[in-house]
């Protein structure tokens, strides 16, 4: 199924607020908090009149969560209830791939991210993250790998290579994105399971909760990880809340965006061994409106976010643009917005955000973002009738 909304129709939607550039006018949830430096929040709105053509490559997907581009131009896509499919460049949707481990799809759980290495054409090896049932109602984020059969119908030689510890009886905050770094190690982002007791473990380096992890693609800690006193060897950074966006930037470094509390989503460039504060230091407030902990937003031993949102965008999925169709966007960060129902674009210079724009506002929750080989932007919309969508310049 293919649906193209022409630029003229999108322009009309934008005039009605689909790209209304008034998001900085919304009142903050934590009005008493002040940023640590200029443009750390509410960066200047990018003056961009561009509209986007929106082409539905494939619809009818059940809460799609993650995707990656395959060498033949097709996409491997996960659906949170526990299905993985191949979607051809022409929009043909395969039957669910067999051979996957059981997932716990309650709440925010299920089948999550998926990625392939550069040598997929030779190895057909795939990695994916999921919420793994551990018995007694407990679960945790896990990562598995397998080899996709030649006909694309089954996952073979499946092995679980990482299991977050400890498991918890929670249906919230699993993370998780998978990103290969330039050395071939695999970054895994996790959540801290949300509840008052486990959230404290984001500060406990003896656990995997609320962490950026860096592992060997076949299991175990990757070489070159920081030596953190008392810390698990897989840990790269800690003090995170719920990391659902991650990508390598043009500088080759990992960048992440995590769900914060009510007013406190964070863009970070996590560095080895450093503490990013949650839940002791954070912007935003509890969903109830109360302070998080003591309401501290800065501390000398804790890293400040590069940027934060209040109100939140509810981030999910991220890519740095590298293509020819949007030459003015080269090197910009593109982030999916769930609560904001938008594609968020950030311009950066010298490690700081210099501008923000939002596209497709009000047209659905954007769960993941990627770039095709032709430079078009591809997104996943998150709903019980989700879609794989191609975006191209409209004017």
Average the pLDDT over 11-39 and give the result: 73
User: CB count, 10 Å around CB of 230?
Assistant: 7
pLDDT averaged over every residue in the chain: 94
Place of tokens 């499919």: 85
Place of tokens 């930037």: 249
250 against 20, higher pLDDT: 250
Counting residues of the chain whose pLDDT is more than 90, the rounded percentage is: 93
394 against 169, higher pLDDT: 169
Q: Which residues are catalytic?
A: 173
Handedness of CA 344, 350, 351, 352 (dihedral sign): negative
Q: Reduced to 3 states, what is the DSSP secondary structure of residue 57?
A: strand
What's the pTM? 0.94
C-alpha 320/C-alpha 341 separation (Å) is: 19
Cβ atoms of residues 145 and 117 within 8 Å: no
Give the closest residue to 244 by CA, choosing from 131, 363, 142, 112. Answer: 112
Give the closest residue to 388 by CA, choosing from 6, 92, 114, 100. Answer: 92
Q: How many CA atoms lie within 13 A of 22 on its CB side?
A: 8
Backbone angles phi, psi at 243, to 5 degrees: -85, 110
Per-residue pLDDT reduced to its tens digit, 103-153: 999 999 999 999 999 999 999 999 999 999 999 999 999 999 999 999 999
Please tell me the predicted confidence (pLDDT) of residue 364. Answer: 94
Displacement of CA 38 from its chain's centroid (Å): 25
Please tell me the predicted confidence (pLDDT) of residue 287. Answer: 95
pLDDT band at 286 (very low <50, low <70, confident <90, very high): very high
C-alpha 190/C-alpha 335 separation (Å) is: 18
Please tell me the predicted confidence (pLDDT) of residue 48. Answer: 84
Cβ atoms of residues 227 and 234 within 8 Å: no
Buried b (16+ CB within 10 A) or exposed e, 104-115: bbeebbbbbbbb
Q: Reduced to 3 states, what is the DSSP secondary structure of residue 209?
A: coil
User: If DSSP states are collapsed to H, E and C, what string results for 370-395?
Assistant: EECCCCCEEEEECCCCEEEEEEEECC
Per-residue pLDDT reduced to its tens digit, 239-273: 999 999 999 999 999 999 999 999 999 999 999 99
Place of tokens 């934060």: 308
Give the closest residue to 377 by CA, choosing from 393, 366, 360, 390. Answer: 390
pLDDT band at 22 (very low <50, low <70, confident <90, very high): confident
Please tell me the predicted confidence (pLDDT) of residue 6. Answer: 35
Handedness of CA 218, 146, 56, 366 (dihedral sign): negative
Cβ atoms of residues 254 and 246 within 8 Å: yes
Q: Reduced to 3 states, what is the DSSP secondary structure of residue 23?
A: helix
* Pair of tokens at residue 281: 């230091």
Q: Please, which residues have CB within 8 angstroms of residue 290's CB and are 6 or more apart in sequence?
A: none
pLDDT band at 10 (very low <50, low <70, confident <90, very high): very low
* Pair of tokens at residue 12: 């009309």
Pairing mode, strands 265-268 and 307-309:
antiparallel
Cα dist from 340 to 29, 80, 277, 326, whole Å: 15, 21, 24, 22
Strand partners, 386: 61
Displacement of CA 237 from its chain's centroid (Å): 17
C-alpha 243/C-alpha 315 separation (Å) is: 9
CA angle 218, 208, 123 (to 5 degrees): 15
Handedness of CA 299, 302, 308, 311 (dihedral sign): negative
Judge whether residue 309 has pLDDT over 70.
Answer: yes
Please tell me the predicted confidence (pLDDT) of residue 297. Answer: 98
In the chain, what are the domains? 4-393 (2.120.10.30)
Per-residue pLDDT reduced to its tens digit, 152-207: 999 999 999 999 999 999 999 999 999 999 999 999 999 999 999 999 999 999 99
């Amino acid at each position: 199924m293919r649906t193209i909304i022409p630029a003229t129709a999108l322009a009309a939607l934008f005039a009605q607020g689909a790209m209304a550039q008034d998001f900085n006018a919304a009142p903050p949830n934590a009005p008493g908090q002040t940023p640590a430096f200029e443009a750390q929040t509410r960066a200047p709105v990018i003056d961009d009149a561009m509209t986007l053509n929106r082409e539905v490559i494939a619809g009818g997907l059940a809460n799609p969560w993650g995707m990656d581009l395959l060498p033949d131009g097709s996409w491997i896509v996960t659906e949170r209830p526990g299905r993985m499919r191949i979607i051809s460049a022409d929009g043909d949707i395969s039957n669910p791939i067999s051979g996957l481990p059981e997932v716990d799809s309650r709440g925010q759980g299920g089948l999550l991210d998926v990625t392939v290495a550069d040598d997929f054409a030779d190895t057909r090896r795939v990695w994916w993250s999921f919420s793994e049932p551990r018995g007694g109602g407990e679960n945790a984020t896990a990562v598995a790998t397998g080899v996709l059969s030649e006909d694309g119908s089954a996952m073979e030689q499946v092995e679980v290579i990482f299991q977050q510890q400890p498991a918890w009886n929670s249906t919230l905050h699993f993370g998780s994105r998978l990103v290969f770094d330039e050395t071939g190690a695999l970054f895994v982002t996790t959540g801290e399971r949300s509840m008052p007791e486990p959230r404290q473990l984001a500060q406990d380096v003896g656990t995997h909760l609320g962490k950026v992890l860096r592992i060997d693609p076949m299991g175990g800690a990757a070489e070159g990880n920081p030596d953190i006193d008392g810390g698990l060897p897989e840990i790269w950074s800690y003090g995170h809340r719920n990391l659902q966006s991650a990508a390598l930037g043009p500088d080759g470094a990992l960048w992440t965006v995590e769900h914060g509390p009510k007013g406190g989503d964070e863009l970070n460039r996590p560095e080895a061994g450093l503490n990013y504060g949650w839940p002791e230091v954070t912007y935003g407030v509890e969903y109830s409106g109360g302070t998080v902990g003591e309401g501290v937003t800065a501390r000398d031993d804790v890293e400040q976010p590069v940027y934060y949102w209040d109100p939140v965008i509810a981030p999910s999925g991220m890519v740095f643009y590298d293509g020819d169709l949007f030459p003015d966007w080269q090197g910009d960060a593109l982030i999916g917005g769930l609560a904001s129902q938008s594609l968020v674009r950030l311009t950066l210079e010298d490690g700081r955000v210099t501008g923000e724009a939002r596209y497709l506002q009000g047209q659905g929750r954007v769960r993941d973002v990627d770039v095709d080989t032709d430079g078009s932007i591809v997104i996943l919309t998150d709903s019980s009738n989700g879609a794989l969508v191609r975006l191209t310049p409209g004017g």
